[in-house]
Amino acid sequence: MRTLIYPGTFDPLTRGHVDIARRARRLCDRLYVVVLRNANKRPAFDVAERRDMAARCLADLDGCFVEDYDGLLVDYMVERGAVAVVRGLRSESDFRYELEMVAANRLLYESFESILLPSSSALALTSSAIVREVAAYGGDISAMVPDEIQDEVARRLVRPEYRHRLEVRT
């Protein structure tokens, strides 16, 4: 059984993340999408919310399991017997960041391996931060966020003074 891991903060999961998860699933027998903590981020959604939203969006993907984990990525990899981690690459700046992550993880676990999947072009410039920004102003996030969680994300992140913009659309 070839197991891959797709780790992230997923605050919230975007259509870009779903695209990477679906493509990664084709490369392995089992894919674990895992919500981890990034020490540099203060997420808008708590871990359980992020995990549940990701699980809803990926429910139809056989052989894909969504979990959360409080610890080092390399420890989770060993626990799951994974051969590699999958990450999406949207731009040159992602590439630099990913190389730094690979280097750090390899110092912790010498067998650490990662597979970098280029984002599909239409999704290449979305990010969770852009989703949070647009949603705060009651903007339309439907092109960026999976159908299953659009409502929850929009309602949770809209500022009170922009709430009327959501009502207009529903």
Tell me which residues touch ligand COA (CB under 6 A): 7-11, 14, 16-17, 20, 36-38, 41, 72-73, 88, 90, 101, 104-105, 119, 123, 126-129
Rounded to a whole number of angstroms, the minimum distance from the CB of residue 161 to ligand COA is: 23
For 148, counting Cβ atoms within 10 Å of its Cβ (0-12 exposed, 13-18 middle, 19+ buried), the class is: middle
Residue 72 in 3-state DSSP? coil
- Which residues does 138 contact at the CB level (< 8 Å), separation at least 6? 154, 158, 159, 162, 163, 164, 165, 166
**Rounded least distance, CB 29 to ligand COA, Å:** 22
Quote the least distance from Cβ 163 to ligand COA, whole Å.
23
Q: Least distance to ligand COA from the beta carbon of 75, Å?
A: 8
Closest residue to ligand COA, based on beta-carbon distance: 16
What is the rounded CA–CA span in Å between residue 90 and residue 41?
Answer: 19
Query: What separation, in Å, do the N-terminal and C-terminal C-alpha atoms of the chain show?
Result: 45
Pick 44 or 170: Cβ nearer ligand COA: 44
- What amino acid is encoded at 39 in this protein? A
Q: Which is nearer to ligand COA, 24 or 158 (CB)?
A: 24
Sign of CA dihedral 93, 85, 67, 23: positive
83 or 101: CB nearest ligand COA? 101
Q: Which lies closer to ligand COA via its Cβ, residue 12 or residue 138?
A: 12
Q: Closer to ligand COA at the Cβ: 127 or 168?
A: 127
Q: How far apart are alpha carbons 137 and 164 in whole angstroms?
A: 10
Q: Least distance in Å: CB of 127 to ligand COA?
A: 4
